Amino acid sequence: MEITIPLFSGVLIKIAVDSTHEKKYPTARLQKGFLLVHEGQELAEEGVGFGVPILKRGIQTIFPGSLELISIQKDSIRNVTGVTVKFRMNLEEKIIKPGFESVKNKLLYVTKNLLASLIRRSPPLRGMLTSISNALRAVFGWETTFEEAGFCVDVKMIYTVDSQAGTIDVEVDTANLITYDITEVVVMNEQGARYFNQYRDSGGTFLRGKEIDCWDKVNPEWASFVSETHGLAFTLRQVKGATIYRGRELIGSRLAWSGFGYSFSPAIQRFGYQVRIEKL
């Protein structure tokens, strides 16, 4: 089942109950959120879309594998659509060599997760560590896959889409997470890196292409990713109790995303923000 919501001329967003069929990228196994479409062309590439939860249990990261539609409500007078879903959080990233089972070495995954955390938190080391990671993948023929994590919990997401304003209000219900050893909640808002190749913010920062690093803190009041090709932008604002990170990665057929993540403690039982989509 797919829910499609028009915004303005030639622009719509869509979310599917099962969006894990596309095999172009390793993240195809993940359940997607709202994907942006312009003139019939989907702009998400490898990105997971708007309003997608990710959970951290220490250094372990849990991703959504499926989605259950709870309700959809349409107000044609106000041009507003409400969508409530539950993401089933049950997958984690693994390494696989084609033709073989995924690697089972626990120490390897502990090391990989620690390096991933270091890459995000230590900009001076990113280039070197990324090069090492890419070299190891090439030498051993490793690829990324996503498999059952041996852990499962549902996260309810409430979306309110104002088609006239071009906004998506996102609310995350994390009331039950504190009892599952969750240490951090991240809500991702991503579209494709080849399309959204510019970053700008209210502090005057403007970055293009490779100038945008993979995971940097956003300090100004608002920030946007811009698509020159399609004349579109999506913007997020600061929300009390959360930290915004920006990122963009474009590596062959493995990574192709641009976007933001809100990071916050599971002690915040309800968290909300707004995505604004605009034509330039």
Token pair listed for 17:
């109950």
Specify whether the CB–CB gap between 195 and 229 falls below 8 A. Answer: yes
pLDDT score, position 140: 57
Based on DSSP, count helices (H) and strands (E) in the chain, helices before strands.
2, 18
* CA dihedral sign of residues 190, 194, 196, 200: positive
pLDDT band at 138 (very low <50, low <70, confident <90, very high): low
Element (DSSP H or E) covering residue 272: strand 270-279
Could you read off the pLDDT of 22-41 as tens digits, one per residue? Answer: 567 888 899 999 999 999 99
Assess whether pLDDT exceeds 70 at residue 20: no
Token pair listed for 238:
């600061």
pLDDT higher at 269 or 188: 188
Residue type at 29 in one-letter notation: R
The residue among 262, 237, 192, 248 whose CA lies nearest residue 37 is 192
Assess whether pLDDT exceeds 70 at residue 126: no
Global pTM value: 0.90
pLDDT (mean) for 116-134: 64
